[in-house]
Structures are given as C-alpha cells and as structure tokens.
Amino acid sequence: MKLPKVVTIAGSDPSGGAGIQADLKVLTQFGVYGGAAVTALTRQTSAGVLGLFPLPAEWVLEQVRDVLWDLRPPVVKTGMLQQPGVIGGLGRLWGEYVREYGKTGAHVPYISPSAEPVPSAPVLVVDPVLSSGTGVSLLAGGGLEAFREDLLPVTTVLTPNVPEAEALTGIAIRDSDDMVGAAERLLQFGVQWVLLKGGHLPEWEGVRIADLLISREERRWLWGQRVPGADLHGTGCSLASALAACLALGLPVPEAAARAVEWLRQRIGSPLFVGQGRGVVCQKLERQRE
C-alpha cells in the first residue's frame, strides 16, 4: 500500500491560521504527508492581511515541477495562486504531470497493509482564493480569466465560497437555486466536481447551513448546524486540505467531501484564539492553556 501524500501550492501566512502553514497542519492531523510549494509571502496576523510579496511566476512553477516529479503525489491542492502566470502555467504543467504519473505511477514506499489505496490518476483540488476574509485582494488582474481558461478545465474538485463562485461565473447567488445554477456553470468550464460552500449565503443566516456538492451525474447537499457568531480565518484553506487528505487516503469524492465538511464544522465549534484577531481551525491542541 502507498504512503498518502499531498502537495499544497499556496501562500504563506506567518500567523499560521491559513495558507501553507494551515494546510500542512491539517494534512498531518489526517496522517497524510505534506509537501508545499510557496506562491507568495504575506505579512499577516490573526486580524488580517497587511501585505503581499509574490514570488516570480517562473520560479513558483519550477518549484512545483521539482516537487511533483520528486514526490509524485496522488493529490495536489492549490490555495492562493495570486498571479495569472502561475494559474495558467499550472494548468499547462498539470497535463504533463498527469502523463508522467500515468507512465510511472505514484513513486512511494510500502507503509502498511491496512492503508487504503491511493487514486490511480492524480487529483487536483483547487480552492480559488480571491481575497482574504477581511476583504484584501489576493488575486492579481487577469487571474479570473486564467482560472476559467487554464485551470478549471483540469480541476478535479473546485471549492469556491459564494463570492468566489459569483466572480468566476458572473452569476449573482442569493439562494440555493442560484447556488445550483452557478455550480452547473462551473462544471461547464470543465471542472469534474464542485463543492460550493454556503457559509456566506444570507438565506441560511439561521440555524442551518449547507454546502452543495455537484458533478455531471450527482448532486447532494451537505447540511449542518450553523455555529452562531463564528469569527474565523483559514476555514477555506483548512477545508480544502482536509478534502485533499481524505482523497489521498483513498476515499471517493462524495465521501471525502462529507468527511472534510463534518471535520471542519466540528472545528468551527471549538476554534483556537491564538492572537489578537480571529480564531483558527487548522489545529487542535490536546491541552489548551487559559
């Protein structure tokens, strides 16, 4: 059986609640090995993003190629890609990686007979980060077009929130019917599965909350209890990483999505307040100090 591995391609959050820091912590909690290629540095605290320093696009793509060809991860997860050159370049590189993986398979050691099998073709989970929770733009001009033209056609699972789905499709989302319409439009761009998160939907500002998981063949709503007054950062990054981890452990997309959403909602109910700002969900400490 194969060692479960995920490579995340994302930005750095020095406060540790979002970005690659959150991704690696979540992967570790699921028992999955994590590699990370960094797209940009941020100055960021638990209260918000203060600055952004993108790395040159060619350099980001070289990092990605190096680590994919070395680790051969069955699952790759993207977070803040920030530049159209990175988004477009990754779309092209992914086709090459799929062919390479098909030739040689996952290059991984035996770990245990009880481990689940890794996917036979590599899987790409794309969290289309456009801005921080506090409204700072994390995507440069031309980024939406690059997503639509180059990355969505090769995406296995896309995990937009409501504003991201609106920006990518141009469809205003006010209720659950609009969520279905926008998710179907995203499938038309070539995405295989869409997990459209409903946290921002006014319709459900009551006790319930739902995310929509949709493919060309299936549609299901993932219902849960809304935690009142949640003021958190990094929930999107943590959810996409949990989903990537479950896929690397061999779960099919519907089961992986349900398990990741369930895991996140439990965390939203007991976040860690690590600084002066919002709480985080990517880590649970065994012993919490007062």
Ligand X SMILES: Nc1ncnc2c1ncn2[C@@H]1O[C@H](COP(=O)(O)OP(=O)(O)OP(=O)(O)O)[C@@H](O)[C@H]1O
Q: Which residues bind ligand X (CB under 6 A)?
A: 133, 161, 197-200, 209, 211, 224, 226-227, 230, 232, 234-236, 239, 261, 264-265, 268
Q: Which is nearer to ligand MP5, 11 or 119 (CB)?
A: 11
Sheet with 33-45: list strands edge to edge: 48-54, 33-45, 5-12, 75-78, 123-126, 157-158, 193-196, 208-214, 219-225
Q: Determine, following the binding rule CB under 6 A, whether residue 11 of this chain makes contact with ligand MP5.
A: yes
Window contacting ligand MP5 (CB under 6 A); options: 104-112, 177-185, 192-200, 228-236:
228-236
Strands (E), the chain: 5-12, 33-45, 48-54, 75-78, 123-126, 157-158, 193-196, 208-214, 219-225, 232-233, 279-280
Q: Which is nearer to ligand X, 136 or 230 (CB)?
A: 230
Instruction: Map the footprint of ligand MP5 across residues 51-90, applying CB under 6 A.
Output: 79-80
Q: Give the separation between CA 39 and CA 90, rounded to whole angstroms.
A: 11
Q: Give the separation between CA 46 and CA 17, rounded to whole angstroms.
A: 7
Q: Determine, following the binding rule CB under 6 A, whether residue 271 of this chain makes contact with ligand MP5.
A: no
Q: Provide, rounded to whole angstroms, the least separation between the CB of residue 15 and ligand MP5.
A: 9
Q: Determine, following the binding rule CB under 6 A, whether residue 282 of this chain makes contact with ligand MP5.
A: no
Q: Provide, rounded to whole angstroms, the least separation between the CB of residue 79 and ligand MP5.
A: 5
Q: Give the separation between CA 54 and CA 38, rounded to whole angstroms.
A: 9
21 binds, among ligand X, ligand MP5, none (CB under 5 to 8 A by kind): none
Q: Which is nearer to ligand X, 61 or 239 (CB)?
A: 239
Q: Provide, rounded to whole angstroms, the least separation between the CB of residue 47 and ligand X.
A: 14
What is the full DSSP assignment across 155-199? -SEE---HHHHHHHH-----SHHHHHHHHHHHHHTT-SEEEE--T
Q: Provide, rounded to whole angstroms, the least separation between the CB of residue 12 and ligand MP5.
A: 6
Q: Determine, following the binding rule CB under 6 A, whether residue 272 of this chain makes contact with ligand MP5.
A: no
Q: Which amino acid does the sequence have at 289? A: R
Q: Which is nearer to ligand MP5, 47 or 172 (CB)?
A: 47
**Size of interface with ligand MP5, in residues (CB under 6 A):** 19
Instruction: Map the footprint of ligand MP5 across residues 14-43, applying CB under 6 A.
Output: 18-19, 42
Q: Quote the tokens at residue 45.
A: 């605290």
Contacts of residue 21, defined as CB under 8 A and 6 or more positions apart, other chains included, come to 12, 13, 14, 282
